[in-house]
Structure 1
Amino acid sequence: MDVAIYQDDGVESGETAELDPTVFDIEPNDHVIWLDVKRIQAHQRQGTSKTKERSEVRGSGRKLYRQKGTGNARVGDAQSPIRRGGGRAHGARPRDYTHDLNRKEKRLARRSALSYKAANDNIRVLEDFSLDRPDTRALADLFEFLDVSGQDILFATTEVEREIYLSAQNLSDVNVQEVNSINTVDILDADVVLLQEGALDWLTNVLTTAPTVELAA
């Protein structure tokens, strides 16, 4: 599958790039996509919720009144969970929600997500370029020429491009990341995926070879 390569002004360069069918044209595995999305979202949970249980609530362990003879229901101390101001029975405790998938499943999830985008013609390839200084207007004009303005854009650069990243900060629908840090959720959340040539080569190399490079969480 060949796609046109665009220059940094949005004009076609006259050259094409091949989208490897083993990465961009597979039968998507929805279950593995779900597993990877669930894993990524679990990693984002803080897991810091905490309530005080009976042994942690301030107060003495004194029995409030004697066991028998008052006509009242029997009680223990003021920290009892059934009393106002008492501890919480089986309360929330800090915990780690993270879980993992093996590398083959992570790669399959990313290939499946990319195949969905390619099937809908939502992948564009750009020449590698840098900006001398942050320039939001230049980036906005590029997206306008590519006819992707107003859509959620994932822009994967070959290397860390600070000026491009800063240029996109005032564009609420643009997510600029170095290619080795994008994950399945980033791809699925975007309407259009823009790949610099080097980023395309990196993705193709990593997702078609034996798992030797660790992907982004």
Structure 2
Amino acid sequence: MELSVFNIKGEDTGRKVTLSDAVFGVEPNQHAMYLDVKQYLANQRQGTHKSKERNEVAGSTKKIKKQKGTGGARAGSLKSPVFVGGGRVFGPKPRNYSFKLNKKSKAAARISALSLLARDSKLSLIESFNFDAPKTKEFKSILSNLKVEGKSMFILSDVNQNVVLSGRNLPKVKIATANDINTYDLLNTDKVYLVEDSISIIENLLSA
């Protein structure tokens, strides 16, 4: 498929770039995308949750009442889960939520996400740009020129500190490099803007 290249003023440059069908024109694999997003979200979890069981709760271990003759159930400790202030039964413990996902599955998920964006006309190409110094105001003017609405993602060819610092304070803007794109960010946006230089990097990375 072919996409027109725009400049940061929102003007069509008259040039078109042909995107690889192997990366931007496949039938989306829903299950691969699901697994990649699931792994991404699982990796964000700290897994530091913890509750105390009966052997960890502070309290006396003295038998609180005699075994028989009270008319109630037998009880041997204030730490029992049935009492207020007692331990919790099968409570959460610290654990690692991450899991392994094959590289081919991850690549298939990213290709599917890019193809989905291209199919739904949520993909645009822009010329490479840079700032002399970090300026959020200049980045906002680019958003205005491109008529960006909702969440947007800009994919650069490599790390550009001035561009990253200019856009990081904008709540609905995500800036990433071609080597760091992930399925979750691609699907969690309304529009993706590919800097022209990043296309070859993405195609080489995902078609390898």
CA contact (8 A) 1:63 1:76 kept: yes
Gaps of 5+ in 2: none
SS at match of 1:77: coil
Matched, 1:174 2:162: no
CA contact (8 A) 1:150 1:173 kept: no
**Alpha-carbon shift at residue 46 of structure 1 (Å):** 1.7
Gaps of 5+ in 1: 210-217
Superimposed CA distance per residue, residues 152-202 of structure 1 (whole angstroms, 9 cap, x where no aligned partner): 111011111222122223432211122222210100111111111222111
AA partner of residue 128 (structure 1): S
Of 127-136 and 79-88, the range deviating more from structure 2: 127-136
CA contact (8 A) 2:8 2:146 kept: no
**Alpha-carbon shift at residue 13 of structure 1 (Å):** 2.8
* Residue aligning to 1:165: 164
* Residue aligning to 2:57: 57
Distance 2:42 2:105 in 1: 16
Distance 1:10 1:139 in 2: 13
Matched, 1:191 2:181: no
Seq. identity, %: 40
TM norm structure 2 = 0.92
Distance 2:18 2:137 in 1: 30
AA partner of residue 81 (structure 1): P
**Alpha-carbon shift at residue 70 of structure 1 (Å):** 4.1
**Alpha-carbon shift at residue 133 of structure 1 (Å):** 1.1
Distance 1:26 1:80 in 2: 58
CA contact (8 A) 2:159 2:177 kept: yes
**Alpha-carbon shift at residue 3 of structure 1 (Å):** 1.2
Q: 1:70 to 1:152 in 2, by over 3 A?
A: closer
CA RMSD of aligned residues (A): 1.6
Runs of 4+ in 1 over 6 A off after TM superposition: none
Distance 2:22 2:52 in 1: 53
Of 121-130 and 180-189, the range deviating more from structure 2: 121-130
**Alpha-carbon shift at residue 141 of structure 1 (Å):** 2.5
**Alpha-carbon shift at residue 124 of structure 1 (Å):** 1.4
What is the count of residue pairs matched by the alignment?
A: 208
* Residue aligning to 1:104: 104
Distance 1:144 1:125 in 2: 16
Distance 1:76 1:160 in 2: 64
AA partner of residue 88 (structure 2): R
